[in-house]
Structure 1
Amino acid sequence: MPLLQLRDATKDDLQVTYAITEDAMRGYVEEAWGKWDPAEQREKHRVNFTPETHRIILVEGDVAGFVAIEEFPTHVWLVKLYLLARCRGQGIGSQVLQGVLKDAKARGKPVTLRVLRVNKRAQALYAGHGFHVTEETPDRLLMASGA
């Protein structure tokens, strides 16, 4: 298992988190909605990027991805868990997810998330860590863990 660290994101991470988002999600967005509009996606990312909720995933000192988490009174919302393609399939996502679940369990809260229907790989990751589907929309599945 590679050496993994998380560091708090800063406003200077806007571009790197956009690059990770494009690498991780472009294919799924194109499959789900037919196109990836770079200008639209950059603007969405800029508006939604909140450094205080994001942590950069480092593997042996190199940026591998990021995770974004928001805490609510009743649950922990896993907003994003994106890895660069070269970092997938190595257990990094599982390691990060286990940390999120452990922290939420210590707070007595379930973890919730939403995942694109076309992203079968992420769905399998989450199901393998005990998540179950709680709601469905035409484009997404909402999933939750136990507390």
Structure 2
Amino acid sequence: MRPARPADVEAIAELRAVVMRPDLERLGRYDGHRVRQRLRDGFSARHTSVITAAGAFAGSVTLRPSETGHWLEHFYLAPALQGRGLGSAVLRTLLSGTDASGHLVRLNVLQGSPARHLYERHGFTVETQDAIDIFMLRPPGAGPRASALTATLR
């Protein structure tokens, strides 16, 4: 990972549109312009990291401070790189820092998104939900679920 630069915003906005499209279409909420513009409007290079794999752009993640801890936002990986452990490696890195500082982490994920399982494996639990979003919370030190540990030990 490397710190994001303002010039990264368009690549991240495009990746967001690609990654979120299936879930947003399933929920009847996909608008290509809006999905990109929401990223541009909320982009903070200061709190964002660019994920690289083999020296190339692979994704992004934002860890934004809040009054109660941090918000994990804009965590996108190129579809071809999903399911290979890269997302787990990024989460382990980020969460080791929030654990060390004693901060909780919140995020939201779309209803029905397979990303929810990744977050659950890393200690996130559902706090609230509505028809579109699931809001999740991870207290400091919450480790992987037992089933994830068992799978790792096999």
State the TM-score, normalized to the length of structure 2: 0.85
1:37 CA drift (Å): 2.0
**2:47 counterpart residue number:** 53
Q: Do residues 140 (structure 1) and 133 (structure 2) align?
A: yes
Q: Do residues 93 (structure 1) and 87 (structure 2) align?
A: yes
SS at match of 2:19: helix
Deviations 1:4-61 (A, max 9, x none): xx111111111110121012111111111x2522222232222111211211000121
- Point out where structure 1 has 5 or more consecutive residues left out of the alignment: 1-5
1:92 CA drift (Å): 0.5
Residues 5-84 of structure 1: pairs in structure 2 closer than 5 A: 6-32=1-27, 34-84=28-78
**1:114 counterpart residue number:** 108
**Aligned residues of 2:17 and 2:36 also touching (Cα < 8 A):** no
Report the Cα distance in structure 2 between the residues aligned to 1:83 and 1:115, rounded to whole angstroms. 14
Report the Cα distance in structure 2 between the residues aligned to 1:72 and 1:36, rounded to whole angstroms. 28
**Count of paired positions:** 140
Report the Cα distance in structure 1 between the residues aligned to 2:29 and 2:109, rounded to whole angstroms. 18
**Aligned residues of 2:125 and 2:138 also touching (Cα < 8 A):** yes
1:123 CA drift (Å): 0.8
1:145 CA drift (Å): 1.2
Report the Cα distance in structure 1 between the residues aligned to 2:53 and 2:25, rounded to whole angstroms. 28
- Point out where structure 2 has 5 or more consecutive residues left out of the alignment: 141-154
Q: Structure 1 residues 102, 41: CA separation in 2 closer, same or farther (over 3 Å shift)? A: same
With a CA cutoff of 8 Å and minimum separation of 6, indicate the structure with the bigger relative contact order. Answer: 1
**Aligned residues of 2:64 and 2:71 also touching (Cα < 8 A):** yes
Instruction: Report percent identity of matched pairs.
Output: 30
Counterpart of 1:115, as a letter, is V
1:74 CA drift (Å): 2.2
- What's the Cα RMSD here? 1.3
**Aligned residues of 2:14 and 2:36 also touching (Cα < 8 A):** no
1:112 CA drift (Å): 1.0
